[in-house]
Every structure is written in C-alpha cells, then in structure tokens.
Structure 1
Amino acid sequence: MTVILDRRLHAFRPDLADEALRGKFDAERFTRGEPARISVPVAPLRPAPDLARGIDTELLFGEAVRVFDRADGFAWVQADQDGYVGYLPETMLGEPQEATHRICVPRTFLYPEAELRKPPMGALSMGSRVRVTGEAETRGTRYFLLGDGGAVIARHCLPLGETLGEDYVSVAQTFIETPYLWGGRSGFGIDCSGLVQLAMMMVGKSAPRDSDMQAEFGVAIEREELRRGDLVFWKGHVGMMEDAETLLHANGHTMSVARENLNAAIERIGWLYERPTGYRRPL
C-alpha cells in the first residue's frame, strides 16, 4: 500500500526507500542507510542531485546523517537532527565521529593551531559539532584542539548536553544583521524558519525545519496574547516576537535578520503575502 509522504522528511524513490517505510511505500528495494557526518562548515541540501537546484536547507559541520545512496558524486541522506532528506555532494561527508561540543556563537574561526595570528583554515557556525581532544593557551587565550585538526576559541564552545539557557529569543538576537539566505541555517546566512529552529536547538528545544511545519508546532493563540517567544506566521514566512510589539525575523525585505514593529510588518508584508495566517506559542 502506498501512502502520501512528505519527500522532505521521508526517503523514498521508486528504486529505493528507507527501510522504515516498508509497507508504506512501494520501492524496488529498501535500506537502513549507513551513518556519516558532515565534514564541511556548511552543506547545502537539495531536492535533487543537481547543483543548479535551489537549496532546501543546510547541514552543519559535525551533524550526523544516514546515507541511503551514493551515485555520480552525490549522496542521498537524511539528517539525524530534524529528519530532513536531500542530496549533497559526496565529498561533504566524513566518517561518523562522536562529538563532544557545539559551537555556541553565531560564527567562529577554525585555526590551524592555538594561535589567533595564524591564517584561519575556515569558519564554523553556531550549532556545528566538534570533537575536542585537548586544550592549549596562547597569551591568555584558551583554545580547544579538535580531533579533525585545528583549534577553536574555547569559550565559543559548549559541551554537548548543555544549553544557552532557556530563552531562545536571546539566541536569535545574536543573529541580528546576519544575511538572509533562502534555505540558510547557519551564522553565515539564514532564513526565517532556520532562525527559529537554530535558536531553539541551542536552548535544548526541538523544532521542525520549515515554516509550514512550524505552523503546527506548539499551541494556537490569539494576536492579543502575543508575548516574547511567540511565533507569527504568514504564508511561507515566520517571525519570532521579541516582545508584545516587536517582531524578530530573517526576511527578504532587509535581506538580513532584523527587528521591526509587528503592526508595521503586517502592513508591509500584506500587499504581497496577505495577513498573518496564525499565531502560535511553542511549548
């Protein structure tokens, strides 16, 4: 029997599908997939194995995935964090590795050694997972040494299992003026629902990835009840309330994460996307 499945959250094709979908989808064969992890700072995830296609979302360094297929330089994967399915270049994958810490600032540099005067090897986003194998100090600055090689500023890392408190709005505020990027989910570029998801993840809350999924998250409330942390939805867009009157959101108007008065935002957005479709309070 074949049922309607969301291709963003279920791995299925006529020739191959996730073993968990056996009996729900007719495929030629099924697989449980094999574990891997993201080995680049940011890995764009696409709906097809084609670099010309727009991205659905991004996976961050160290995040775990299951690999269902590898062909023509692409891997078909599902993210452990939120279950998102898509394609990425196979070169962006590495062997599974148990992380010990997460990056807890919007962006941080990865240095070749414990020395900030050295040219950085790259940069990592908030939410990236790293394995710390040692420590070092240079001129009073403490570094973590990583199992993959390189070093990061120690205070930019948080042990796995610890959070940035309970206020996800304060986490989202650290992304103010971060560039807007459709499908973005990192400190280098982020979209409206990516901001909500990443901020909540850093305080230990699990949120769906896309705004239509988040529109079913938590409980419905009335506009008059809005307070800090509540979510406001339009068709294809979501924003987070900083207080009862101020909206914080990644948006294509300013092309950044910005704050604006909610009433002004409703009027500005209304000509193209109509009025808000709902208001919700995450549990």
Structure 2
Amino acid sequence: MELQPGQTAVVRVAVATLWTSPEAVRSVDRPALTASADISAWVSGMDTDQLVGDCVLSQLLLGERVIVSAVRPDGWTQVVAVEQPAAKLDPRGYPGWLPADQLTTVDPAHTDQSLVVDATVTALHATPDGSVVLPGVAVGTRLAPAGPARDGWRPVHVPGRDAPLWLPDAHLVPASVTSPTAEQALAVAQRLLDVVYVWGGLSAHGIDCSGLVHLAWRRFGVSLPRDADDQAVATTPLTMGAERPGDLYFFARPGRKIHHIGIVTAVPGEGDERRMLHACYRRRRVVEERLPAERTATLVGAHRV
C-alpha cells in the first residue's frame, strides 16, 4: 500500500537514516539508501570527514513509528519520528526525510512490542539457526512476539514481512515497566565503548554524543529528546560535585547553546577530577576518559535523568 500524508508508518529495515533532504545525500551514502539499508557498509565506507557530514539528522530503529508528512514521486518521504522528541523542531518529534521503501504500513495485529533487543547487535533469521534475513538489528529495538521460544530461539513479527523471523532468545528481554537506575543505563552505554562516531548515529554501527544518551535510556523505554540541548531541558540540574555514575555532563561555549553531552562514570575526585563516557567528535569514537582541560573549560552543568 502506498504511503499517504498524515498516515502512521513504521521502519522496516534494521536501522534507517533520517536525512536533512533528499538533495543533501552524497555518493558515499548509497548503502544507507537502499531497501535493505546496509548501515555497517555505509559507515565503513566513509572517511573521517564524511563521518561528520551534516546531511544526517538521526537514525531510526526497526519498528520505530513515524508520521508521514509528504511523499515525493522520486521515492522519498518526509516524516516526523515521533519516538525522538525534538520540541524546538516539531512538537510531534524529529522531522526529516527517508527513502519510502524503508517504511511500511502499521499492522494492527503486531503493535504489542513487548520484547526489546538487549544484544548490542543481532540478526533476524528465517528459521531457528537458519539463514540471516535481516542483519544489524540494534540494541533498543522493540519487537512483537510471535510465539514462545523454541530451542533457545524466539519468533517475532517484523514490519513488512508476512512470516515471523527468529533470533536467539537470549538477545531479548521483556520491555521495561519501571524506570531504570542510572547505573543500568550507563551499563548499556558502556557496551558501545569504541564504537565509531557518526554524526546523527543511533546504533552500535555508529553513534553521536546525544544519540548515545538517547539510546542508553531508550533501551529501558525512557523517551529522552534526541539532541543534547533538549536533553538538558528534559533532565534535572544538580549541584556540581553531587553527580554520580549515570548522571550527565553538558558542555557549551560562552554565549552559545549546549553542543555536547557525556555520561558520568565516576564520583568527582580530588581537585574536581571528573570522568565520563561519551561519543567524541574529535577522536571519532566512543571513549571513557578523564575530562581534559579543554572539556572542563566548557562544562556548564551536571544533570540527572
């Protein structure tokens, strides 16, 4: 069925990339634009400058909901990603563009997304231990159960596919019904240590600073905004020195809006020594480190989710 403006749709690929416009994409972006969206190949094909191209806004996970705003005859769809709050851009969610063939209509029978992928990256198979149908499925992806586990494998309904697919039952957990502790969210983020920095990235294939924070809490069903400045508004400020592991550090230059965020990994030490886990633009990867002097100079606050 063809998508229509005003309709709710869902992502049918493991990870879909949200673009500023169809015209902004580059030749290096082709693997991320196909109906299979090979994000691993896309990331590995970029050089260090291309990893931070500002044509990317965010990414969406398999089964994530969007509202269709416009459909172009060339196969592009303008959407609002309703599971990624972005109040300054659109009160409904994060706006951007996706290839239409990475979306599908909502199946009312499969809206019970009561399972969450807890493996950092996994794959969906045609049968238990059978051929891979959909690789690259990321932590935090919500899936609808299609029956009980069998021999260590679990069937799930997948958007855009008639037959259930299978993944190891150990890669799934029930969707959270209570808020996580800060330490639990930090533990998810720590599993992404050394993942490459990708501007707008939101998975273990590549991630940015606010994406790391958004995804760590999203794994537990907590809907934090997508961008760092919005994340500051949505969290509770702390007195400096009161921060604990799992809290957040925010950074801004004088007179400018917040541009960076990290997750506290240790109680402040002597001489206000501080440590954090963050997706580092400069080093192009996720690192855990003591705050260097240039970071401390732009530290504007500590917050708690």
Question: TM-score normalized by structure 2?
Answer: 0.72
Work out the CA distance in 1 between the residues paired with 2:8 and 2:132. 32
Cα contact 2:14–2:134 (8 A) shared by 1? no
Cα deviation, residue 187, structure 1: 1.9
Q: Which runs of 5+ in 2 are unaligned?
A: 27-53, 85-92, 253-258, 268-273
**SS at structure 2 position matched to 1:85:** strand
What does residue 10 of structure 1 align with?
none
Cα deviation, residue 201, structure 1: 1.6
What does residue 70 of structure 1 align with?
71
Cα deviation, residue 247, structure 1: 0.5
Paired amino acid for 2:94:
Y
Match of 2:198 among 168, 172, 181: 181
Work out the CA distance in 2 between the residues paired with 1:58 and 1:45. 5
Work out the CA distance in 2 between the residues paired with 1:121 and 1:79. 22
Does 2:17 correspond to 1:44? yes
Higher helix content, 1 or 2 = 2
Match of 1:130 among 143, 147, 163: 143
Cα displacement string for residues 58-84 of structure 1 (whole angstroms, at most 9, x for unaligned residues): 011000111111012111111121211
What does residue 166 of structure 2 align with?
151
| Matched ranges for 1:5-24 at <5 A | none
Cα contact 2:248–2:261 (8 A) shared by 1? yes
Give the number of equivalent residue pairs: 243
Cα contact 1:39–1:61 (8 A) shared by 2? yes
Work out the CA distance in 2 between the residues paired with 1:62 and 1:107. 15
Cα deviation, residue 104, structure 1: 1.7
Change (3 A) 1:119 1:75: closer
**SS at structure 1 position matched to 2:56:** coil
Q: Which runs of 5+ in 1 are unaligned?
A: 1-30
Does 2:225 correspond to 1:208? yes
Match of 1:95 among 87, 99, 105: 105
Match of 1:230 among 221, 224, 247: 247
Does 2:298 correspond to 1:276? yes
Cα contact 2:118–2:219 (8 A) shared by 1? yes
Question: TM-score normalized by structure 1?
Answer: 0.78
| Percent identity (aligned) | 29
Cα displacement string for residues 115-150 of structure 1 (whole angstroms, at most 9, x for unaligned residues): 16x445412001222222124534xx3333435342
Cα deviation, residue 197, structure 1: 0.7
Work out the CA distance in 2 between the residues paired with 1:58 and 1:196. 14
What does residue 11 of structure 1 align with?
none
Cα deviation, residue 164, structure 1: 8.6
Work out the CA distance in 2 between the residues paired with 1:44 and 1:195. 16
